[in-house]
Chains A and B, each alone.
Chain A
Amino acid sequence: GAGVSQSPRYKVAKRGQDVALRCDPISGHVSLFWYQQALGQGPEFLTYFQNEAQLDKSGLPSDRFFAERPEGSVSTLKIQRTQQEDSAVYLCASSLKSPGLAGGRSYNEQFFGPGTRLTVL
């Protein structure tokens, strides 16, 4: 399909392990976002890319979290030395244009992937 895909869909890690979560955005989408969604909560912003540039990482909870999008398409969210509080669903979203190109009033919908459910034991 042509939607946002994420892998793996489920990941179980032992506390202290490193994990890498992958996002394949819709082809041609400029903007890519990562969100963390705890059980029963809404998604919380982690970081934002415009093409390969990481323009906002204000939502990353600690320096154990790292994201990259080296060629402006696929993105990887890496979590080092996982902790139990990292257990959540990690959602990736992409949108066609950046805010500047879309114009401030464009709704510029974000399309979400199915998420990766991370469980840290």
Chain B
Amino acid sequence: GQNIDQPTEMTATEGAIVQINCTYQTSGFNGLFWYQQHAGEAPTFLSYNVLDGLEEKGRFSSFLSRSKGYSYLLLKELQMKDSASYLCAVRDAYSGAGSYQLTFGKGTKLSVIP
């Protein structure tokens, strides 16, 4: 099984940088995903990490430390449209077609204020 923890809510100022942390305890691991979800909408893919280190994609970066069971999502130059929930999800180790599900954290609701 998986246990995934992330803060419930965060507030940050437009133009600033915010870091959303995620810790996980898993029986297997085959990658960590970050998704963005605006209220009432579908989650949309932001990033994927399977090896330790930092993955950068524009204003968004994601970091993974497998030994610590830790990841963070870094958002730079915050914009009002970044106000959304950010979901951390871990994929089980692949051991057959049945074990490919994503286990999501509860999400971090980010509010960007002027």
With a 10 A CB-CB cut-off, give which of B41, B43, B45, B50 has the most chain A CB atoms.
B43
Q: With a CB–CB cut-off of 8 A, which chain B residues contact A91?
A: 42-43
By beta carbon, the residue of chain B nearest A40 is B106
Within 8 A of B (CB), among A23-69: 31, 33, 35, 40-45, 48, 50, 55-56, 58-59
Q: With a CB–CB cut-off of 8 A, which chain A residues contact B3?
A: none
Cross-chain contact of A48 among B4, B31, B98, B106 (Cβ < 8 A): B98
Residues A113 and B30 in contact in the complex (CB < 8 Å), given A45-B103, A55-B97: no
Q: With a CB–CB cut-off of 8 A, which chain A residues contact B99?
A: 56
By beta carbon, the residue of chain A nearest B45 is A109
By beta carbon, the residue of chain B nearest A4 is B42
Q: A94-121 interface mask toward B, CB cutoff 8 Å, 1 = contact, 0 = none?
A: 0000111000110101111111000000
Mostly, the B contact residues are loop
By beta carbon, the residue of chain A nearest B108 is A42
Shortest Cβ gap from B96 to chain A (Å): 8
Q: With a CB–CB cut-off of 8 A, which chain A residues contact B100?
A: 31, 48, 56, 98-99
Shortest Cβ gap from A34 to chain B (Å): 10
Residues A42 and B101 in contact in the complex (CB < 8 Å), given A107-B48, A111-B45, A112-B43: no
Residues of B within 8 A of A (CB): 4, 30-31, 33, 35, 41-45, 48, 50, 87, 89, 93-94, 97-107
- List the 8 closest pairs (A to B, CB-CB), nearest first: A42-B104, A107-B48, A112-B42, A56-B98, A45-B101, A104-B94, A55-B97, A99-B100
